[in-house]
Chains A and B, each alone.
Chain A
Amino acid sequence: MLVTLTINGQIIHVERETPIFEAAKKLGIPIPTLCHHEALKPYGSCRLCTVEVVKNKWPKLVTSCNYPAEDGLEVKTDTDRVKRTRKMVMELLLARCPHVPAIQQLAQKMGVKTSQFKKKGDEQCILCGLCVRVCDEIVGVRAIGFVGRGTEREMNTPFGIESDTCIGCGACTYICPTSYIEMVERPDAPGGRSLNKGELTLDSCPNSYVCENCDREQQFLLETMQVIEKFRRENEKRRSEQKV
């Protein structure tokens, strides 16, 4: 069922329950976010995508990534209140992770230069939960999860020891916006994933994944191409025989 809502005065028809974030994207209205990913369910942990929603003449702040579209909803993404709130969130993030390039860039983009809060230290994780969710929803392994609560919350494997369920796919390292999780061979490295390798060899590529000029990769490609070529030739031969 289609519903009609207005975002910054622009009317848009979207499927019911579509998050406002997606609707705004269709209109080309930029909303900053750190914890949202198309492939994953909305989570609403970074609070950067905050927008103002007017429902029954009552304006309120909501996270657009997980707020479902309804009929007659009035969304504003550029009011002073929204800007103030986002700036505050950004300042908090900046105080938490002052040295993370992704955070610095986003802060600069949003016009946040310094944080009014005391720098907490040199944290790299923003607790967006992308890695936890990708491990659960996409990989289906759930090797990592959140630990603790409040200010002590962190992302870790159960008991902080080598996970016996991790398959070493690297999805969490790929999705992490602050590159906090890295593929390491040392289990005691900070934020390191230690992997129970089992039969799987997880040696890192000696050529640092530059496949274009790697002998091994070229050899592999050549073999694959030969197989495809052979298959094609045989197919053509069979067809021509059938015609005859």
Chain B
Amino acid sequence: MAFEKVDEILEKHGYRHDALIGIIQDIQRLENYLPLETLRHISHRLEIPLSRIYYIATFYKSFSLEPRGRHIVKVCLGTACHICGATQNLEQMERTLHICEGETTKDMMFSLETVNCVGTCALAPVAIVDDTYYDAVTPEKVEKILSNYATESEGIESEKN
């Protein structure tokens, strides 16, 4: 496995130890998760113990050590969203995608995550797919929102073919 792109990231951050979180973020953006071998590689390159990198990677919820889907679906379960019925939305998401919270669909298309507040309580209940925010989500809207992405991804794939 080549680590050229990883080395580019390290280069960009100037091999600085204090940029470790930024480096891990960039790697997650590149690989969609944090593979063991890549973390081991940066541990050797930066001369930071692997235990420290692993500690940071497991401390922050935004880092994933397992492969995630192409689209990350985040359902806000903060107080405002909870009151507006976010749990029903989450259940509907789980039913539609046939996965539980924190899991990834078999076709690696969607990962379902929960967050505790995204700071846009006026839009409650909020769901976020990748970087798009969906406001006032109801269980009926869930399927429509998700189908956007399913068709879109398939469309991209068929274009490639």
Contacts and interface: CB of A to CB of B under 8 A. Distances in A.
Size bracket, chain B contacts: 10 to 19
B57 to A, nearest CB: 9
B51 A149 contact: no
A157 interface: yes
B49 A142 contact: yes
Contact of B58 (A142, A149, A163): A149
Contact of A145 (B36, B39, B51, B65): B51
B53 interface: yes
B36 A159 contact: yes
A145 B59 contact: no
Contacts of B50: 158, 165
A136 B65 CA distance: 24
A157 B51 contact: yes
A143 B50 CA distance: 8
Contacts, number: 34
Contacts of A165: 49-50
Given A148-B59, A149-B59, A159 B49 contact: no
Size bracket, chain A contacts: 10 to 19
Contacts of B17: none
A148 B49 CA distance: 16
A142 B51 contact: yes
Nearest to A148: B58
Interface in B35-65: 36, 39, 49-55, 58-59, 65
A147 B58 contact: yes
Interface string A21-56: 000000000000000000000000000000000000
Interface in A134-166: 136, 141-149, 157-159, 163, 165
Contacts of B55: 145-147
A143 B51 contact: yes
A115 to B, nearest CB: 28
B51 A144 contact: yes
Nearest to B54: A158
A94 B53 CA distance: 31
Contacts of B51: 132, 142-145, 157-158, 163
Nearest to B56: A145
Contacts of A157: 51
Interface string B115-142: 0000000000000000000000000000
A159 B59 contact: no
Contacts of B36: 159
14 contacts: A142-B51, A142-B52, A143-B49, A145-B54, A145-B55, A146-B55, A147-B58, A158-B50, A158-B51, A158-B54, A159-B54, A163-B51, A165-B49, A165-B50
Sorted from nearest, which 5 A-B pairs have the closest CB atoms? A145-B51, A142-B49, A158-B54, A158-B50, A145-B55
Interface of A: 132, 136, 141-149, 157-159, 163, 165
Given A144-B51, A157-B51, 5 more contacts: A142-B49, A145-B55, A148-B59, A158-B53, A163-B51
